[in-house]
Structure 1
């Protein structure tokens, strides 16, 4: 192969991610011509409706997959948290790259922490996971839906539509936007459990041995261990973006510390578990943890959460 084409969305963060992978591949394969094919996904086009009502996070990957299946692109760069569990025939998730800061962050022009927010302050997020955990901490707050790319969301904050917004720390740091607001405060994983795969990139490819070999230089072993646990947990629970699920696995030496929760969007009913396993047991622990949640009633709770999300939240 002389030329490799990367499919990506056109948002600033998606382009940063694609260009980052482009640079790494050029460094590893100097003779390979690596180019970017950018496009607008349906998820980027429909900004006035919550994702859960228009098809979920798969809306950010569908156009890219269509491009690969049509032979117009060879690989796609995704934020791993946006990657569905199932892939079209002929495509596969090949590599997980090095993970950055997986925490969520509070952005505000007036307040430096969740605790500082005044009674009934307006907090922007469309994530049911974030909504659930914010209301668990501060049930007095007002949660208002927030769509758009990172820059649009920050502009809405600065325009006074929100007292604070919650975004992924990694996206803000990758785009160098920490100074765009007065307060940028990462939230500890103990206070707010991140989304599955948050802060890692997933490389989806046309399933061929040649592409698999080319892309293999991007694989990060630690990120693979952590996110495999997280994705298996969500897969077994059959949880899409329309239900509140948080799962975070973190390597500590030869062990992995895992914590997870599922619950209702208002934070009033939550199932939480944490466990530690050996690093070499990672392939089974996500499923084991999900089955423990199911025994505690997680499936029924998630069904209830989905109904509430569709009829009351949005």
Structure 2
């Protein structure tokens, strides 16, 4: 039986609301007569803003509460930034659609400097991401990386109010919120690889809700799905339940094939292992796992073991 109203669960940050409103609008446009309502929720990651993400715990910080509400029947679907989703989805739930990816890159925003190269020695750079921290320090070990939490608007305000020379944010988030003009420089991928799924939205539903899954199938972008499968398979192979400094990006190579590039780095950036692998798009998960094994064998495993010991103290 078709429902006339769909309840969409979302976090209440401006970016999360933009994402949920986007899906709401697409659904109502596709199905005239359908009404989509938003249900705003707060997650653990939204509540704890005075500690680095890596110390709070890496899995499900921005998704667990939404998923619990969906399992209980309080919402019909949830819209997430794909990069926030753990590689394991709770039993009974499924990612039913992944939208076409926007720019997956990371942006530098600065009030004083035009490029990353212009940052002076000892410059203070804000980010809450171990992935960004490690890769930036590998290129510029002189930088002072300071933790920066909060939503996009909060981080931009802190750039102006606190002593940051620059902050690093996702390109997609800035553009979705209309802050594209604040981007000083999009950092090149040979310097910094993005987070898994960065730039794409994931729509999560109950696995049993076949009718809703059929309805949202039009939002699924096959190319992005293949890329995400490779990236998430890579992360699933290397993560040990904690935040780890890894970056990975998959993109179409030649017709029907993918190129996957990934990095594992120590938190201080002193050690960094990077490699790439190409193969059929239909074998995306295998490509991700194989590349992960390569990097672990190169030395990545010792880095992840050290990080796990530090975070378990």
Report TM bin, short chain: over 0.9
SS in 2 for 1:110: coil
Per the alignment, do residues 307 and 146 of structure 1 end up closer, same or farther by CA in structure 2, a change over 3 Å counting?
farther
SS in 2 for 1:115: helix
SS in 1 for 2:149: coil
**Is 1:178 aligned with 2:150?**
no
1:214 matched residue in structure 2: 215
SS in 1 for 2:50: coil
Per the alignment, do residues 57 and 151 of structure 1 end up closer, same or farther by CA in structure 2, a change over 3 Å counting?
farther
Q: In structure 1, how many angstroms separate the alpha carbons of the residues matched to 2:57 and 2:22?
A: 28
2:163 matched residue in structure 1: 161
Q: In structure 2, how many angstroms separate the alpha carbons of the residues matched to 1:306 and 1:110?
A: 37
- Spell out the pairing of 1:1-314 with structure 2 (5 A cutoff): 1-179=3-181, 181=182, 184-208=184-208, 209-240=210-241, 242-254=243-255, 255-308=257-310
1:272 CA displacement: 0.9
CA RMSD of aligned residues (A): 1.6
Per the alignment, do residues 283 and 57 of structure 1 end up closer, same or farther by CA in structure 2, a change over 3 Å counting?
closer
Per the alignment, do residues 25 and 167 of structure 1 end up closer, same or farther by CA in structure 2, a change over 3 Å counting?
same
Per the alignment, do residues 172 and 310 of structure 1 end up closer, same or farther by CA in structure 2, a change over 3 Å counting?
farther
Per the alignment, do residues 213 and 279 of structure 1 end up closer, same or farther by CA in structure 2, a change over 3 Å counting?
same
SS in 1 for 2:78: strand
Partner deviation per Cα, 1:2-43 (whole Å, 9 max, x = no partner): 211110000000000000001111111112211111112121
Contact 1:51 1:57 in 2 (8 A): no
Which 5+ residue runs of structure 1 have no aligned equivalent?
none
Contact 2:28 2:36 in 1 (8 A): yes
TM-score (norm 2): 0.94
Partner deviation per Cα, 1:98-134 (whole Å, 9 max, x = no partner): 0000000000000121110001000001111100111
Q: In structure 1, how many angstroms separate the alpha carbons of the residues matched to 2:13 and 2:309?
A: 31
SS in 1 for 2:38: strand
SS in 1 for 2:163: coil
Equivalent residues, number: 309
TM-score (norm 1): 0.94
1:270 CA displacement: 1.3
SS in 1 for 2:217: helix
Contact 2:54 2:130 in 1 (8 A): no
1:90 CA displacement: 1.5
Per the alignment, do residues 28 and 253 of structure 1 end up closer, same or farther by CA in structure 2, a change over 3 Å counting?
farther
Per the alignment, do residues 84 and 228 of structure 1 end up closer, same or farther by CA in structure 2, a change over 3 Å counting?
same
Partner deviation per Cα, 1:160-199 (whole Å, 9 max, x = no partner): 42100000000000001133x4x52111212210011000
Q: In structure 2, how many angstroms separate the alpha carbons of the residues matched to 1:42 and 1:160?
A: 25
Q: In structure 1, how many angstroms separate the alpha carbons of the residues matched to 2:242 and 2:176?
A: 23
